[in-house]
Amino acid sequence: MSHTTRLRSYDLGKRAEGMQATRRRIAEAAMDLHGSVGPARTTVSAVAELAGVRRNTLYRHFPTEEDLYAACSGHFWSLHPLPGPSEWQHVEEPRARFTAALTAMYAYYGETTDMLANLTRDAEVMPVVERSLQEYTALLDGIAREAGDDQTARATARHALDFATWRSLVHRGGLADDLTVELMASLVFGDAGRHGGRDEPTGGGLQQSKRHAIVRAAFEAFAEHGFRASLDEIAERARVSKVTIYSHFSDKEELFRTVITEQLDEAVGAARRLRKPLPGNHSLETELRALCSACIGVLSSPVMIRLQSVLEAEAKRFPEDIGPWLDLVPAELRLVLDDTLRALPGTAGIRIPDPDIAVSQLYALCVQPGTGRPTPERNEDVVESGLAMFLKYYEDR
């Protein structure tokens, strides 16, 4: 080969490389614009400007818009290949296989959100875009067909797989991918909207039973770990799924508030039951002794001890709520004492000019020192000594 021939071959090779680089630069510019503004709003002039070439150069490489779109589309799919069935076909159990496929698709949506949003939008008005999504559409249809034999399961599965569903629940709604996958799998393989499903009752009684189980399990978890207790642990304790928890409570904070409120309501109910007087005729000292001991019993119950521990630990997380929560039951007990002191007959042997002050004194002397984890013997001593001081002070001389 002559020197001139070698130079000509070298020049042709360099020219070919340059042309390939220009084509790639144009395709990348088109892809960037499709991802930012969408194919329908992308102009040839904008692509040429972004690629740093003239329009006639662009047309020399891509004579038609379809040629340009084909190159752009091919470049995008080569950089972001669709998940393949090999990622989930090895899973034998149908629900687990669908869950694996849905998880892979949702992860893909998270990586390609802007582009897919524009492509799926513009596919409705641009046939060339619709054609470029055929492989993606066929993939989703294939996964949906494996979700079940009935039309309801397949239609629900196809809806769960759609990019618009992920975008609505995760991208816009703020739900986590794993929660949304679990929710969608429950819809596809559950009994919602279908007849002839499992024999498990689906009425309000079952839902209420599950709610009680969740609240009970949550209280146990919060008592052990505080607010950091995970919903996974709570679901396991309650023997329900996280989806079931979210069907009753919007988030963990709402669940926490519900748990605290319901436990406090029970304690308040126990306090209010103390307003019933002792049967038979008893001396004032006996009546007050029994009442103060009962008040201590409410405050030092295992539930109240755990409640107080949880609330004190989470004071920084719920600064505006902790005070009212911690004072709710004591305030109710003070009302019980107030009712008793105001109902004293004139011949009770004591005189109380200001019941409000007297209630605070009786509570401080006989009830408050017995809270926490004192022994029954110590509580008895607290009540005896405190009551003696209280009655002595208000003795009607």
Least confident of 142-151, 157-166, 199-208, 279-288: 199-208
DSSP string for residues in 251-291: SHHHHHHHHHHHHHHHHHHHHHGGGSPPSS---HHHHHHHH
DSSP H or E stretch at residue 207 = helix 204-225
Residue 201 has pLDDT above 50, yes or no: no
pLDDT at 198: 37
Residue 93 has pLDDT above 60, yes or no: yes
DSSP H or E stretch at residue 293 = helix 284-299
Residue 151's pLDDT band (cuts 50, 70, 90): confident
Domain edges within the chain: 3-78, 85-189, 204-249, 272-393
Least confident of 6-15, 34-43, 110-119, 338-347: 6-15
Per this entry, what is the length of the chain?
397
Residue 199 has pLDDT above 80, yes or no: no
Contact 169, 180 (CB under 8 A): yes
Whole-number Å distance between alpha carbons of 385 and 397: 21
pLDDT in tens, 287-325: 888 888 888 888 888 888 888 889 888 989 888 888 898
pLDDT at 196: 40
Residue 101's pLDDT band (cuts 50, 70, 90): very high
pLDDT at 304: 86
204-249 matches 3-78 in CATH topology: yes
Measured in degrees and rounded to the nearest 5, phi and psi for residue 157 equal: -65, -40
CATH number of this structure's domain 272-393: 1.10.357.10
Tell me the chain's radius of gyration from C-alpha atoms: 36
Residue 210's pLDDT band (cuts 50, 70, 90): confident
pLDDT in tens, 332-343: 988 988 888 887
**Bridge partners for 350 per DSSP:** 395
pLDDT at 258: 92
Over residues 177-182, the mean pLDDT reads 85
pTM: 0.52
CATH T-level topology, domain 3-78: Arc Repressor Mutant, subunit A (1.10.10)
Residue 279 has pLDDT above 70, yes or no: no
Measured in degrees and rounded to the nearest 5, phi and psi for residue 280 equal: 85, 180
Q: Which homologous superfamily does the CATH classification assign to the domain defined by 204-249?
A: Homeodomain-like (1.10.10.60)
